[in-house]
Chain A
Amino acid sequence: DGGITQSPKYLFRKEGQNVTLSCEQNLNHDAMYWYRQDPGQGLRLIYYSQIVNDFQKGDIAEGYSVSREKKESFPLTVTSAQKNPTAFYLCASSADRGREQYFGPGTRLTVT
């Protein structure tokens, strides 16, 4: 069954702690993306990767970091430098940049 998985679905952390969100895909897609979604707003791009070992900052990269060591995996670390980390985080992948993206189920991160 092909698709994108994100884990965990809900994540709780204390302020000042780094936390890593998992994203795995078995669609053999080259491109992967991380978005942040806040109530009443559209999807905002955090980071994207077009190929293994390469990634670029999106519109709101400050306070986040990523790695792309394997084609299937694109983990996102929310660092303590992110001022307002509580949000719904979505991972996506696509076969080609700028084309249809397939989304995972999302991770709801709450930092207190």
Chain B
Amino acid sequence: GESVGLHLPTLSVQEGDNSIINCAYSNSASDYFIWYKQESGKGPQFIIDIRSNMDKRQGQRVTVLLNKTVKHLSLQIAATQPGDSAVYFCAENPFTGANSKLTFGKGITLSVRP
């Protein structure tokens, strides 16, 4: 299958443990952030998003934390499962108005050990 994780940073976790995936974003003016999951050979899937007026948002087994002071975004996955193994991307919207569009990070590979 397609391997999009070559040369990307890798986080290895034990099945059942919690995972924390971190992302540093570039623009202090960004007002919207998204986490995507991409399995090998597939397109990215939306996981969760957060706006800049929030510090934390929870979904099913996932939590996104936003620290605007240090321009840091994190994704926490509770009770990590083998199906969580994938490449995870953060994306930000650093532009406004007519130029508004997402900018994607390079991605982090999550590897879940059985």
A residues neighboring B (CB under 8 Å)? 4, 6, 33, 35, 37, 39-43, 45, 48, 88, 90, 92, 97-106, 108
Binary per-residue interface labels of chain B (82-114) against chain A in the complex, 1 for a CB within 8 Å, 0 otherwise? 000000010001011000111011110000000
Expressed in whole angstroms, the Cα–Cα distance for A6 and B2 within the complex equals 16
Closest-CB distance, B72 to chain A (whole angstroms): 18
A105 and B49: CB pair below 8 A? Answer: no
B6 at the interface (CB under 8 A from A): yes
Residues from chain A with Cβ under 8 Å of B11 in the complex = none
Query: Is B61 close to A, CB under 8 A?
Result: no
Bound Cα distance from A37 to B40, whole angstroms: 12
A97-B101, A99-B32 given as contacts; is B2 within 8 A of A106 (CB)?
A: yes
Whole-angstrom distance between the alpha carbons of A43 and B46 in the complex?
14
For the complex, give the distance between the alpha carbons of A102 and B7 in Å.
25
A101–B102 CB distance below 8 A:
yes
Shortest CB distance A92–B (Å)? 8
Contact A105-B93, Cβ < 8 Å, known A88-B2, A98-B100, A98-B102: no
**B-chain residues with CB within 8 Å of residue A101 when the two chains form the complex:** 34, 46, 102
Instruction: Chain A residues near B96: list those with CB within 8 A.
Output: 98
Residue from B2, B46, B105 having most chain A Cβ neighbours under 10 A: B2
The 8 Å CB contact of B4, one of A45, A88, A99, is A88
A40 touches B7 (CB 8 A): yes
